[in-house]
Chain A
Amino acid sequence: MIDLAQLGAAVERGDRDSARSLTQAAIDAGQAPQEILDAMVGAMGVVGRRFQAHEVFVPEMLIAARAMKESIALLEPLLVQAGIRPVARAIIGTVEGDLHDIGKNLVAMMWRSANIEVIDLGANVSPQRFLDAARQHEPHLVGLSALLTTTMPAIRRTVETLRQAGVAAPRIVIGGAPVTLQYAREIGADGYAPDAASAVDLARQLLGLQGSPS
Protein backbone atom coordinates (compact mmCIF):
# COMPACT_ATOMS: atom_id res chain seq x y z
CA MET A 1 0.00 0.00 0.00
CA ILE A 2 1.16 3.47 -0.85
CA ASP A 3 0.92 6.25 1.69
CA LEU A 4 -1.36 8.61 -0.20
CA ALA A 5 -0.13 11.48 1.94
CA GLN A 6 3.12 11.15 0.02
CA LEU A 7 1.21 11.46 -3.24
CA GLY A 8 -0.51 14.58 -1.91
CA ALA A 9 2.83 16.03 -0.86
CA ALA A 10 4.32 15.36 -4.31
CA VAL A 11 1.39 17.18 -5.95
CA GLU A 12 1.72 20.08 -3.50
CA ARG A 13 5.36 20.63 -4.37
CA GLY A 14 4.75 20.13 -8.10
CA ASP A 15 6.95 17.05 -8.30
CA ARG A 16 5.43 15.49 -11.41
CA ASP A 17 7.76 12.47 -11.56
CA SER A 18 7.08 11.43 -7.96
CA ALA A 19 3.35 12.12 -8.32
CA ARG A 20 3.11 9.92 -11.40
CA SER A 21 5.13 7.07 -9.93
CA LEU A 22 3.22 7.15 -6.63
CA THR A 23 -0.07 7.17 -8.52
CA GLN A 24 1.02 4.20 -10.60
CA ALA A 25 2.22 2.38 -7.49
CA ALA A 26 -1.11 3.02 -5.76
CA ILE A 27 -2.97 1.72 -8.82
CA ASP A 28 -0.74 -1.34 -8.93
CA ALA A 29 -1.36 -1.95 -5.23
CA GLY A 30 -5.10 -1.97 -5.94
CA GLN A 31 -5.95 1.08 -3.90
CA ALA A 32 -9.38 2.59 -4.48
CA PRO A 33 -9.38 5.13 -7.36
CA GLN A 34 -11.61 7.46 -5.35
CA GLU A 35 -9.07 7.53 -2.51
CA ILE A 36 -6.21 8.24 -4.90
CA LEU A 37 -8.26 11.02 -6.53
CA ASP A 38 -9.23 12.49 -3.16
CA ALA A 39 -5.57 12.66 -2.09
CA MET A 40 -4.77 14.81 -5.12
CA VAL A 41 -7.89 16.98 -4.87
CA GLY A 42 -7.03 17.59 -1.22
CA ALA A 43 -3.45 18.50 -2.13
CA MET A 44 -4.63 21.07 -4.67
CA GLY A 45 -6.98 22.48 -2.03
CA VAL A 46 -3.92 23.04 0.15
CA VAL A 47 -2.09 24.69 -2.76
CA GLY A 48 -5.08 26.96 -3.35
CA ARG A 49 -5.17 28.07 0.26
CA ARG A 50 -1.41 28.67 0.28
CA PHE A 51 -1.88 30.77 -2.87
CA GLN A 52 -4.55 32.86 -1.18
CA ALA A 53 -2.18 33.35 1.77
CA HIS A 54 0.65 34.45 -0.58
CA GLU A 55 2.78 31.50 0.48
CA VAL A 56 2.97 30.15 -3.07
CA PHE A 57 2.52 31.97 -6.35
CA VAL A 58 1.48 31.34 -9.95
CA PRO A 59 4.46 29.17 -11.01
CA GLU A 60 4.02 26.89 -8.00
CA MET A 61 0.28 26.55 -8.68
CA LEU A 62 0.98 25.67 -12.28
CA ILE A 63 3.52 22.96 -11.54
CA ALA A 64 1.28 21.46 -8.84
CA ALA A 65 -1.68 21.36 -11.22
CA ARG A 66 0.50 19.80 -13.91
CA ALA A 67 1.64 17.08 -11.51
CA MET A 68 -1.99 16.31 -10.72
CA LYS A 69 -3.08 16.39 -14.35
CA GLU A 70 -0.40 13.92 -15.41
CA SER A 71 -1.24 11.63 -12.50
CA ILE A 72 -4.97 11.80 -13.22
CA ALA A 73 -4.22 10.66 -16.77
CA LEU A 74 -2.92 7.40 -15.30
CA LEU A 75 -5.97 7.09 -13.08
CA GLU A 76 -8.57 8.04 -15.68
CA PRO A 77 -9.39 4.53 -17.00
CA LEU A 78 -9.99 3.29 -13.46
CA LEU A 79 -12.17 6.28 -12.63
CA VAL A 80 -14.29 5.58 -15.71
CA GLN A 81 -14.45 1.88 -14.89
CA ALA A 82 -15.56 2.63 -11.34
CA GLY A 83 -18.20 5.07 -12.55
CA ILE A 84 -16.53 7.98 -10.73
CA ARG A 85 -17.48 11.16 -12.49
CA PRO A 86 -16.57 14.81 -12.04
CA VAL A 87 -18.76 16.59 -9.52
CA ALA A 88 -19.83 19.24 -12.05
CA ARG A 89 -19.20 20.54 -15.56
CA ALA A 90 -18.03 24.04 -16.50
CA ILE A 91 -17.28 26.04 -19.60
CA ILE A 92 -14.80 28.89 -19.31
CA GLY A 93 -13.24 31.53 -21.53
CA THR A 94 -11.77 35.01 -21.75
CA VAL A 95 -14.41 37.27 -23.25
CA GLU A 96 -14.49 38.79 -26.72
CA GLY A 97 -11.73 41.27 -27.51
CA ASP A 98 -9.47 40.08 -24.70
CA LEU A 99 -6.47 37.86 -25.43
CA HIS A 100 -5.19 37.58 -21.86
CA ASP A 101 -5.61 34.04 -20.70
CA ILE A 102 -3.46 33.27 -17.67
CA GLY A 103 -6.17 34.18 -15.15
CA LYS A 104 -8.69 32.07 -17.00
CA ASN A 105 -6.18 29.22 -17.23
CA LEU A 106 -5.54 29.32 -13.48
CA VAL A 107 -9.26 29.13 -12.72
CA ALA A 108 -9.73 26.28 -15.23
CA MET A 109 -6.84 24.45 -13.65
CA MET A 110 -8.12 24.89 -10.10
CA TRP A 111 -11.64 23.84 -11.07
CA ARG A 112 -10.24 20.71 -12.71
CA SER A 113 -8.18 20.09 -9.61
CA ALA A 114 -11.43 20.18 -7.62
CA ASN A 115 -12.77 17.41 -9.89
CA ILE A 116 -14.92 19.72 -12.01
CA GLU A 117 -14.93 18.90 -15.72
CA VAL A 118 -13.83 22.03 -17.60
CA ILE A 119 -14.34 22.81 -21.26
CA ASP A 120 -11.91 25.62 -22.00
CA LEU A 121 -13.09 27.81 -24.89
CA GLY A 122 -9.84 29.82 -24.94
CA ALA A 123 -9.44 33.59 -25.26
CA ASN A 124 -11.36 36.20 -27.28
CA VAL A 125 -14.58 34.16 -27.08
CA SER A 126 -17.72 35.77 -28.49
CA PRO A 127 -21.06 35.66 -26.64
CA GLN A 128 -22.39 33.43 -29.41
CA ARG A 129 -19.57 30.92 -28.89
CA PHE A 130 -20.31 30.84 -25.17
CA LEU A 131 -23.98 30.26 -25.99
CA ASP A 132 -23.21 27.50 -28.49
CA ALA A 133 -20.94 25.80 -25.96
CA ALA A 134 -23.54 26.15 -23.23
CA ARG A 135 -26.14 24.49 -25.44
CA GLN A 136 -23.76 21.73 -26.43
CA HIS A 137 -22.29 20.91 -23.03
CA GLU A 138 -25.11 21.95 -20.66
CA PRO A 139 -22.65 23.14 -17.99
CA HIS A 140 -23.46 23.76 -14.34
CA LEU A 141 -20.99 26.65 -14.34
CA VAL A 142 -19.86 29.30 -16.80
CA GLY A 143 -16.64 31.22 -16.12
CA LEU A 144 -16.05 34.58 -17.82
CA SER A 145 -12.71 36.36 -17.53
CA ALA A 146 -11.46 39.80 -18.60
CA LEU A 147 -8.21 41.60 -17.82
CA LEU A 148 -9.02 44.90 -19.47
CA THR A 149 -11.52 47.54 -18.47
CA THR A 150 -12.27 47.87 -22.18
CA THR A 151 -13.42 44.27 -22.43
CA MET A 152 -15.62 44.30 -19.33
CA PRO A 153 -18.69 45.22 -21.42
CA ALA A 154 -18.18 41.92 -23.25
CA ILE A 155 -18.80 40.14 -19.94
CA ARG A 156 -22.15 41.91 -19.68
CA ARG A 157 -23.03 41.05 -23.29
CA THR A 158 -22.17 37.41 -22.70
CA VAL A 159 -24.24 37.20 -19.53
CA GLU A 160 -27.19 38.83 -21.35
CA THR A 161 -26.83 36.46 -24.28
CA LEU A 162 -26.84 33.40 -22.03
CA ARG A 163 -29.74 34.64 -19.93
CA GLN A 164 -31.88 35.76 -22.88
CA ALA A 165 -31.36 32.47 -24.69
CA GLY A 166 -32.69 30.67 -21.64
CA VAL A 167 -30.04 27.97 -21.63
CA ALA A 168 -30.33 25.52 -18.77
CA ALA A 169 -29.68 28.03 -15.98
CA PRO A 170 -25.95 27.69 -15.42
CA ARG A 171 -24.35 29.63 -12.58
CA ILE A 172 -22.20 32.37 -14.09
CA VAL A 173 -18.96 33.34 -12.36
CA ILE A 174 -16.88 36.33 -13.47
CA GLY A 175 -13.38 37.49 -12.64
CA GLY A 176 -10.34 39.48 -13.75
CA ALA A 177 -8.35 42.46 -12.58
CA PRO A 178 -10.93 45.22 -13.22
CA VAL A 179 -13.96 43.15 -12.24
CA THR A 180 -15.76 43.78 -8.96
CA LEU A 181 -18.50 42.16 -6.93
CA GLN A 182 -20.61 45.24 -7.58
CA TYR A 183 -20.18 44.76 -11.33
CA ALA A 184 -21.16 41.09 -11.02
CA ARG A 185 -24.36 42.13 -9.28
CA GLU A 186 -25.08 44.88 -11.82
CA ILE A 187 -24.88 42.56 -14.80
CA GLY A 188 -26.71 39.64 -13.24
CA ALA A 189 -23.81 37.24 -12.78
CA ASP A 190 -24.09 34.77 -9.92
CA GLY A 191 -20.70 35.43 -8.42
CA TYR A 192 -17.32 37.12 -8.54
CA ALA A 193 -14.01 35.50 -7.66
CA PRO A 194 -10.96 37.70 -6.99
CA ASP A 195 -8.51 34.85 -7.62
CA ALA A 196 -8.31 31.26 -8.84
CA ALA A 197 -8.46 29.64 -5.42
CA SER A 198 -11.52 31.69 -4.48
CA ALA A 199 -13.11 30.54 -7.72
CA VAL A 200 -13.08 26.98 -6.38
CA ASP A 201 -14.74 28.00 -3.12
CA LEU A 202 -17.30 30.03 -5.07
CA ALA A 203 -18.06 27.13 -7.42
CA ARG A 204 -18.59 24.78 -4.48
CA GLN A 205 -20.85 27.31 -2.81
CA LEU A 206 -22.92 28.03 -5.92
CA LEU A 207 -23.31 24.36 -6.76
CA GLY A 208 -24.08 23.32 -3.22
CA LEU A 209 -21.10 20.98 -3.08
CA GLN A 210 -19.30 19.97 0.09
CA GLY A 211 -16.62 22.29 1.47
CA SER A 212 -13.01 22.25 0.41
CA PRO A 213 -11.31 18.95 0.99
CA SER A 214 -8.44 19.14 3.40
Chain B
Amino acid sequence: MNGRERVLALLDGQPIDHLPLMPITMMFAADTAGVPYGRYALDHRVLADAQCRTAAQYDFDYVSCISDPAREAADCGAKVVWFDDQPPALDEVDALLADKSRLRRLARPDPQAGGRMTDRVQAAALLRERAGAERLVEGWIEGPCAQGADLRGINTLMLDFYDDPGFVHELFAWVIDMELRFARAQIEAGADLIGIGDAAASLVGPHLYDAFVLPYEKRLVDGVHEMGARVRLHICGNTRPLLTSMGTLGADIVDLDYPAPLDEARQAMGPRQVLLGNIDPVRVLRDGTPESVTAAIAACHAAAGDRYIVGAGCEVPRGTPPENVQALTRYAQSTRF
Protein backbone atom coordinates (compact mmCIF):
# COMPACT_ATOMS: atom_id res chain seq x y z
CA MET B 1 0.00 0.00 0.00
CA ASN B 2 1.54 3.35 -0.95
CA GLY B 3 0.99 6.65 0.86
CA ARG B 4 -1.80 7.89 -1.37
CA GLU B 5 -3.63 4.59 -1.21
CA ARG B 6 -3.21 4.47 2.57
CA VAL B 7 -4.67 7.94 3.19
CA LEU B 8 -7.56 7.51 0.76
CA ALA B 9 -8.37 4.06 2.14
CA LEU B 10 -8.56 5.43 5.65
CA LEU B 11 -10.81 8.27 4.53
CA ASP B 12 -13.06 5.81 2.70
CA GLY B 13 -13.29 3.45 5.66
CA GLN B 14 -11.35 0.73 3.86
CA PRO B 15 -8.66 -1.46 5.47
CA ILE B 16 -5.18 0.03 5.84
CA ASP B 17 -1.83 -1.55 6.63
CA HIS B 18 -0.70 1.06 9.15
CA LEU B 19 -1.57 4.61 10.24
CA PRO B 20 -0.97 7.33 7.65
CA LEU B 21 1.65 10.01 8.36
CA MET B 22 0.87 13.61 7.36
CA PRO B 23 2.83 16.18 9.40
CA ILE B 24 2.79 19.74 8.05
CA THR B 25 6.28 20.80 6.95
CA MET B 26 7.23 24.19 5.54
CA MET B 27 10.40 25.70 7.04
CA PHE B 28 11.48 22.24 8.13
CA ALA B 29 11.18 21.08 4.50
CA ALA B 30 13.11 24.08 3.20
CA ASP B 31 15.87 23.42 5.74
CA THR B 32 15.92 19.72 4.84
CA ALA B 33 16.51 20.73 1.22
CA GLY B 34 19.01 23.42 2.21
CA VAL B 35 17.13 26.34 0.65
CA PRO B 36 16.21 29.69 2.22
CA TYR B 37 12.53 29.92 3.01
CA GLY B 38 12.04 33.06 0.95
CA ARG B 39 12.86 31.03 -2.18
CA TYR B 40 10.63 28.16 -1.05
CA ALA B 41 7.67 30.53 -0.79
CA LEU B 42 8.44 32.28 -4.08
CA ASP B 43 9.24 29.42 -6.45
CA HIS B 44 7.05 26.32 -6.81
CA ARG B 45 10.01 24.35 -8.19
CA VAL B 46 11.96 24.92 -4.98
CA LEU B 47 8.91 24.07 -2.88
CA ALA B 48 8.14 20.89 -4.83
CA ASP B 49 11.73 19.73 -4.66
CA ALA B 50 11.92 20.33 -0.90
CA GLN B 51 8.56 18.64 -0.29
CA CYS B 52 9.56 15.58 -2.30
CA ARG B 53 12.93 15.30 -0.59
CA THR B 54 11.40 15.63 2.87
CA ALA B 55 8.61 13.17 2.13
CA ALA B 56 11.15 10.67 0.80
CA GLN B 57 13.54 11.13 3.72
CA TYR B 58 10.83 10.62 6.37
CA ASP B 59 8.49 8.43 4.34
CA PHE B 60 5.51 10.79 4.62
CA ASP B 61 2.33 9.71 2.88
CA TYR B 62 1.80 13.07 1.21
CA VAL B 63 3.33 16.22 -0.18
CA SER B 64 1.80 19.66 0.19
CA CYS B 65 1.60 23.07 -1.47
CA ILE B 66 1.28 24.90 1.86
CA SER B 67 3.77 27.73 2.35
CA ASP B 68 2.29 30.89 3.88
CA PRO B 69 -1.10 32.58 4.21
CA ALA B 70 -0.24 35.57 2.02
CA ARG B 71 -0.72 34.14 -1.49
CA GLU B 72 -4.33 35.14 -2.10
CA ALA B 73 -3.98 38.46 -0.26
CA ALA B 74 -0.87 39.29 -2.30
CA ASP B 75 -2.78 38.73 -5.54
CA CYS B 76 -5.60 40.90 -4.20
CA GLY B 77 -3.06 43.72 -3.82
CA ALA B 78 -2.27 43.51 -0.10
CA LYS B 79 1.12 44.71 1.08
CA VAL B 80 3.37 41.73 1.76
CA VAL B 81 6.66 41.95 3.63
CA TRP B 82 9.30 39.49 2.45
CA PHE B 83 12.14 37.93 4.42
CA ASP B 84 15.11 35.95 3.13
CA ASP B 85 14.61 32.94 5.33
CA GLN B 86 11.17 32.98 6.92
CA PRO B 87 7.60 33.16 5.64
CA PRO B 88 6.34 36.37 4.02
CA ALA B 89 3.86 38.25 6.17
CA LEU B 90 1.07 40.74 5.67
CA ASP B 91 1.46 44.25 6.96
CA GLU B 92 -1.31 44.49 9.54
CA VAL B 93 -0.90 48.23 10.00
CA ASP B 94 -1.52 48.86 6.30
CA ALA B 95 -4.26 46.30 5.60
CA LEU B 96 -5.79 46.25 2.13
CA LEU B 97 -9.32 46.66 3.48
CA ALA B 98 -8.51 49.12 6.26
CA ASP B 99 -11.22 51.11 4.47
CA LYS B 100 -13.96 48.51 4.28
CA SER B 101 -15.80 50.30 1.49
CA ARG B 102 -12.99 49.06 -0.76
CA LEU B 103 -14.39 45.54 -0.67
CA ARG B 104 -17.13 46.42 -3.16
CA ARG B 105 -14.54 47.62 -5.66
CA LEU B 106 -12.07 44.80 -5.08
CA ALA B 107 -11.65 42.43 -8.01
CA ARG B 108 -11.20 38.75 -7.22
CA PRO B 109 -7.80 37.61 -8.48
CA ASP B 110 -7.62 34.98 -11.19
CA PRO B 111 -5.64 31.98 -9.87
CA GLN B 112 -4.20 31.49 -13.36
CA ALA B 113 -3.11 35.11 -13.91
CA GLY B 114 0.53 34.55 -13.08
CA GLY B 115 0.66 35.74 -9.47
CA ARG B 116 1.40 33.93 -6.24
CA MET B 117 -1.78 31.87 -6.54
CA THR B 118 -0.59 30.62 -9.92
CA ASP B 119 2.72 29.61 -8.37
CA ARG B 120 0.79 27.38 -5.96
CA VAL B 121 -1.29 25.89 -8.78
CA GLN B 122 2.00 25.13 -10.54
CA ALA B 123 3.26 23.54 -7.32
CA ALA B 124 0.24 21.24 -7.29
CA ALA B 125 0.93 20.21 -10.89
CA LEU B 126 4.63 19.64 -10.28
CA LEU B 127 3.99 17.70 -7.08
CA ARG B 128 1.49 15.51 -8.94
CA GLU B 129 4.10 14.87 -11.62
CA ARG B 130 6.85 14.12 -9.10
CA ALA B 131 4.76 12.14 -6.61
CA GLY B 132 2.89 10.17 -9.25
CA ALA B 133 0.46 7.83 -7.60
CA GLU B 134 2.82 7.17 -4.70
CA ARG B 135 1.92 10.04 -2.44
CA LEU B 136 -1.19 12.12 -1.92
CA VAL B 137 -0.93 15.71 -3.18
CA GLU B 138 -2.38 18.40 -0.95
CA GLY B 139 -3.39 21.83 -2.20
CA TRP B 140 -4.05 24.67 0.22
CA ILE B 141 -6.47 27.56 0.62
CA GLU B 142 -7.29 29.95 3.45
CA GLY B 143 -10.57 29.77 5.34
CA PRO B 144 -12.98 32.70 5.68
CA CYS B 145 -11.75 34.00 9.02
CA ALA B 146 -8.04 33.71 8.20
CA GLN B 147 -8.37 35.28 4.77
CA GLY B 148 -10.79 37.90 6.05
CA ALA B 149 -8.21 38.81 8.69
CA ASP B 150 -5.45 38.94 6.07
CA LEU B 151 -7.42 41.45 4.04
CA ARG B 152 -9.10 43.51 6.74
CA GLY B 153 -6.46 43.27 9.49
CA ILE B 154 -7.01 40.79 12.29
CA ASN B 155 -7.44 43.36 15.06
CA THR B 156 -10.08 45.24 13.09
CA LEU B 157 -11.92 42.09 12.00
CA MET B 158 -12.31 41.04 15.63
CA LEU B 159 -14.14 44.33 16.32
CA ASP B 160 -16.17 44.05 13.11
CA PHE B 161 -17.97 41.00 14.51
CA TYR B 162 -19.72 43.38 16.91
CA ASP B 163 -19.53 46.69 15.06
CA ASP B 164 -20.62 45.65 11.58
CA PRO B 165 -21.85 42.04 11.33
CA GLY B 166 -23.21 42.66 7.83
CA PHE B 167 -19.77 43.58 6.59
CA VAL B 168 -18.27 40.40 8.06
CA HIS B 169 -20.80 38.31 6.15
CA GLU B 170 -20.12 40.26 2.97
CA LEU B 171 -16.36 39.85 3.41
CA PHE B 172 -16.54 36.12 4.14
CA ALA B 173 -18.85 35.48 1.18
CA TRP B 174 -16.39 37.36 -1.07
CA VAL B 175 -13.50 35.37 0.34
CA ILE B 176 -15.00 31.94 -0.14
CA ASP B 177 -15.88 32.67 -3.75
CA MET B 178 -12.21 33.49 -4.36
CA GLU B 179 -11.02 30.46 -2.37
CA LEU B 180 -13.27 28.04 -4.24
CA ARG B 181 -11.83 29.24 -7.56
CA PHE B 182 -8.35 28.77 -6.11
CA ALA B 183 -9.24 25.29 -4.88
CA ARG B 184 -10.62 24.34 -8.30
CA ALA B 185 -7.42 25.41 -10.05
CA GLN B 186 -5.31 23.32 -7.67
CA ILE B 187 -7.57 20.30 -8.03
CA GLU B 188 -7.49 20.56 -11.80
CA ALA B 189 -3.69 20.72 -11.54
CA GLY B 190 -3.61 17.46 -9.62
CA ALA B 191 -4.37 18.01 -5.94
CA ASP B 192 -6.17 15.07 -4.31
CA LEU B 193 -7.02 16.97 -1.17
CA ILE B 194 -7.41 20.62 -0.24
CA GLY B 195 -6.22 21.87 3.12
CA ILE B 196 -8.29 24.70 4.53
CA GLY B 197 -6.33 26.80 7.03
CA ASP B 198 -8.50 29.06 9.16
CA ALA B 199 -6.12 30.11 11.93
CA ALA B 200 -7.93 33.22 13.11
CA ALA B 201 -11.10 31.22 13.77
CA SER B 202 -9.65 30.00 17.07
CA LEU B 203 -9.74 33.57 18.41
CA VAL B 204 -13.53 33.64 18.48
CA GLY B 205 -15.86 31.70 20.74
CA PRO B 206 -18.51 29.19 19.71
CA HIS B 207 -21.26 31.81 19.45
CA LEU B 208 -19.44 33.91 16.83
CA TYR B 209 -17.94 30.84 15.18
CA ASP B 210 -21.37 29.29 14.62
CA ALA B 211 -22.93 32.53 13.44
CA PHE B 212 -20.18 33.85 11.19
CA VAL B 213 -17.46 31.33 10.41
CA LEU B 214 -18.99 27.89 10.26
CA PRO B 215 -21.52 28.62 7.48
CA TYR B 216 -18.71 29.79 5.17
CA GLU B 217 -16.32 26.99 6.12
CA LYS B 218 -19.19 24.63 5.33
CA ARG B 219 -19.58 26.18 1.88
CA LEU B 220 -15.87 25.67 1.27
CA VAL B 221 -15.98 22.04 2.40
CA ASP B 222 -19.05 21.28 0.30
CA GLY B 223 -17.61 23.14 -2.68
CA VAL B 224 -14.34 21.20 -2.61
CA HIS B 225 -16.27 17.94 -2.30
CA GLU B 226 -18.34 18.87 -5.35
CA MET B 227 -15.06 19.28 -7.23
CA GLY B 228 -14.17 15.70 -6.33
CA ALA B 229 -11.41 16.35 -3.80
CA ARG B 230 -11.05 15.67 -0.09
CA VAL B 231 -10.74 18.26 2.67
CA ARG B 232 -8.34 18.68 5.58
CA LEU B 233 -9.44 21.40 8.02
CA HIS B 234 -6.71 22.96 10.14
CA ILE B 235 -7.36 25.76 12.62
CA CYS B 236 -4.24 26.82 14.52
CA GLY B 237 -4.64 27.56 18.21
CA ASN B 238 -7.09 26.46 20.84
CA THR B 239 -10.20 25.06 19.16
CA ARG B 240 -11.41 23.23 22.24
CA PRO B 241 -14.59 25.33 22.53
CA LEU B 242 -15.34 24.81 18.81
CA LEU B 243 -14.95 21.05 18.51
CA THR B 244 -18.62 20.13 18.33
CA SER B 245 -19.27 22.70 15.60
CA MET B 246 -16.16 21.73 13.63
CA GLY B 247 -17.40 18.16 13.65
CA THR B 248 -20.50 19.17 11.69
CA LEU B 249 -18.55 20.48 8.69
CA GLY B 250 -18.02 17.14 6.98
CA ALA B 251 -14.27 17.70 6.53
CA ASP B 252 -12.61 14.41 5.65
CA ILE B 253 -9.77 15.17 8.07
CA VAL B 254 -9.96 17.44 11.11
CA ASP B 255 -6.36 18.37 11.92
CA LEU B 256 -6.18 19.74 15.47
CA ASP B 257 -3.60 21.95 17.12
CA TYR B 258 -2.20 20.75 20.44
CA PRO B 259 -4.46 22.64 22.90
CA ALA B 260 -7.54 20.64 21.79
CA PRO B 261 -7.59 17.20 23.48
CA LEU B 262 -8.17 14.41 20.98
CA ASP B 263 -10.41 12.44 23.33
CA GLU B 264 -12.71 15.46 23.57
CA ALA B 265 -12.61 15.80 19.79
CA ARG B 266 -13.53 12.16 19.36
CA GLN B 267 -16.43 12.51 21.75
CA ALA B 268 -17.60 15.73 20.10
CA MET B 269 -17.24 14.57 16.51
CA GLY B 270 -18.24 10.93 16.70
CA PRO B 271 -16.51 7.66 15.78
CA ARG B 272 -16.29 8.19 11.99
CA GLN B 273 -14.43 11.49 11.92
CA VAL B 274 -10.78 11.13 10.89
CA LEU B 275 -8.64 13.13 13.32
CA LEU B 276 -5.04 14.25 12.78
CA GLY B 277 -2.49 15.53 15.26
CA ASN B 278 -1.70 16.81 17.69
CA ILE B 279 1.48 16.67 19.75
CA ASP B 280 2.82 20.03 20.90
CA PRO B 281 5.07 21.08 18.02
CA VAL B 282 7.52 23.08 20.12
CA ARG B 283 7.53 21.58 23.60
CA VAL B 284 7.34 17.94 22.49
CA LEU B 285 8.35 17.57 18.84
CA ARG B 286 11.15 20.13 18.67
CA ASP B 287 12.33 20.15 22.29
CA GLY B 288 11.67 16.50 23.17
CA THR B 289 13.47 13.23 22.49
CA PRO B 290 12.49 10.34 20.22
CA GLU B 291 11.23 8.57 23.34
CA SER B 292 9.05 11.46 24.50
CA VAL B 293 7.76 12.04 20.95
CA THR B 294 6.82 8.36 20.68
CA ALA B 295 5.06 8.41 24.03
CA ALA B 296 3.15 11.58 23.12
CA ILE B 297 2.02 10.35 19.71
CA ALA B 298 0.97 7.01 21.20
CA ALA B 299 -1.17 8.93 23.67
CA CYS B 300 -2.74 10.89 20.80
CA HIS B 301 -3.48 7.65 18.95
CA ALA B 302 -5.02 6.11 22.05
CA ALA B 303 -7.23 9.16 22.56
CA ALA B 304 -8.31 9.40 18.92
CA GLY B 305 -8.75 5.69 18.15
CA ASP B 306 -7.93 4.17 14.75
CA ARG B 307 -9.68 6.78 12.55
CA TYR B 308 -6.47 8.70 12.98
CA ILE B 309 -3.52 10.18 11.09
CA VAL B 310 -0.13 10.80 12.71
CA GLY B 311 1.03 14.43 12.79
CA ALA B 312 1.97 17.33 15.02
CA GLY B 313 -0.45 19.98 16.26
CA CYS B 314 0.83 22.42 13.67
CA GLU B 315 3.87 22.85 11.42
CA VAL B 316 6.95 20.80 12.31
CA PRO B 317 9.08 23.66 13.65
CA ARG B 318 12.40 24.66 12.20
CA GLY B 319 15.16 23.13 14.28
CA THR B 320 13.29 19.93 15.09
CA PRO B 321 15.86 17.11 15.38
CA PRO B 322 15.50 14.66 12.47
CA GLU B 323 15.38 11.75 14.91
CA ASN B 324 12.22 13.22 16.48
CA VAL B 325 10.49 13.30 13.08
CA GLN B 326 11.76 9.77 12.46
CA ALA B 327 10.07 8.78 15.72
CA LEU B 328 6.74 9.83 14.18
CA THR B 329 7.50 7.72 11.10
CA ARG B 330 8.47 4.71 13.19
CA TYR B 331 5.32 5.02 15.26
CA ALA B 332 3.01 5.26 12.25
CA GLN B 333 4.68 2.32 10.54
CA SER B 334 4.72 0.18 13.67
CA THR B 335 0.94 0.20 13.95
CA ARG B 336 -0.76 -2.81 12.41
CA PHE B 337 -4.35 -3.39 11.40
A residues touching B (Cβ–Cβ < 8 Å)?
14, 54, 56-60, 62-63, 66, 97-102, 105, 122-124, 148-151, 177-178, 180, 182
**Which of B90-98, B174-182, B183-191, B263-271 interfaces with chain A?**
B90-98
**Residue of A54, A58, A123, A178 ringed by the most chain B CB atoms within 10 A:** A58
| Contact in complex: B205, A56 (CB < 8 Å) | yes
Given the known A-B contacts A59-B203, A63-B159, are A99 and B91 also in contact in the complex, defined by CB atoms under 8 Å? yes
- Interface presence of B89 (CB below 8 A): yes
- Interface presence of B240 (CB below 8 A): yes
B96 to chain A, nearest CB (A): 14
Give the residues in chain B near A149, CB-CB below 8 Å: 27, 282, 286, 317-319
- Interface presence of B81 (CB below 8 A): yes
| Contact in complex: A101, B240 (CB < 8 Å) | no
Give the residues in chain A near B93, CB-CB below 8 Å: 101, 122-123
**Residue of A54, A59, A101, A122 ringed by the most chain B CB atoms within 10 A:** A59
Q: List 19 A-B contacts (CB under 8 A).
A: A14-B162, A54-B238, A57-B208, A57-B241, A59-B161, A59-B203, A59-B205, A62-B158, A62-B159, A66-B159, A99-B91, A100-B92, A101-B93, A102-B92, A123-B93, A149-B286, A151-B86, A178-B282, A178-B317
| Contact in complex: A102, B155 (CB < 8 Å) | yes
- Interface presence of B104 (CB below 8 A): no
Other A-B pairs, 10, CB within 8 Å; known A58-B203, A59-B204, A149-B27: A56-B205, A62-B155, A62-B158, A97-B86, A100-B92, A102-B154, A122-B93, A150-B86, A178-B281, A178-B317
Q: Give the CA-CA distance A25 to B209 in the complex, in Å.
A: 36
Identify which of B155, B159, B204 contacts A57 (C-beta below 8 A): B204
- B202-232 contacts to A (CB < 8 Å): 203-205, 208
Identify which of A60, A102, A151, A178 contacts B205 (C-beta below 8 A): A60
| Least CB separation from B91: chain A residue | A99
Closest 3 CB pairs of A and B: A57-B205, A58-B203, A99-B89
- Interface presence of B283 (CB below 8 A): yes
A191 to chain B, nearest CB (A): 18
Q: Mark B69-95, 1 if CB is under 8 A from A, else 0.
A: 000000000000101011101111100
Give the residues in chain B near A102, CB-CB below 8 Å: 92, 154-155, 158, 203
Give the residues in chain A near B238, CB-CB below 8 Å: 54
Identify which of B83, B92, B205, B208 contacts A123 (C-beta below 8 A): B92
Identify which of A59, A97, A178, A180 contacts B158 (C-beta below 8 A): A59
| Contact in complex: A99, B283 (CB < 8 Å) | no
B31 to chain A, nearest CB (A): 11
| Contact in complex: A100, B162 (CB < 8 Å) | no
Give the residues in chain A near B204, CB-CB below 8 Å: 57-59
| Contact in complex: A59, B159 (CB < 8 Å) | yes
Q: Give the CA-CA distance A99 to B286 in the complex, in Å.
A: 23
| Least CB separation from A151: chain B residue | B86
Give the residues in chain B near A54, CB-CB below 8 Å: 205, 238, 240-241
Give the residues in chain A near B241, CB-CB below 8 Å: 54, 57
Q: Give the CA-CA distance A187 to B241 in the complex, in Å.
A: 33
Q: Give the CA-CA distance A148 to B236 in the complex, in Å.
A: 12
**Residue of B90, B91, B161, B286 ringed by the most chain A CB atoms within 10 A:** B161
Q: Give the CA-CA distance A66 to B154 in the complex, in Å.
A: 16
Give the residues in chain B near A56, CB-CB below 8 Å: 205
B80 to chain A, nearest CB (A): 10
Q: Give the CA-CA distance A102 to B146 in the complex, in Å.
A: 13
Given the known A-B contacts A62-B158, A149-B318, are A99 and B92 also in contact in the complex, defined by CB atoms under 8 Å? yes
A48 to chain B, nearest CB (A): 15
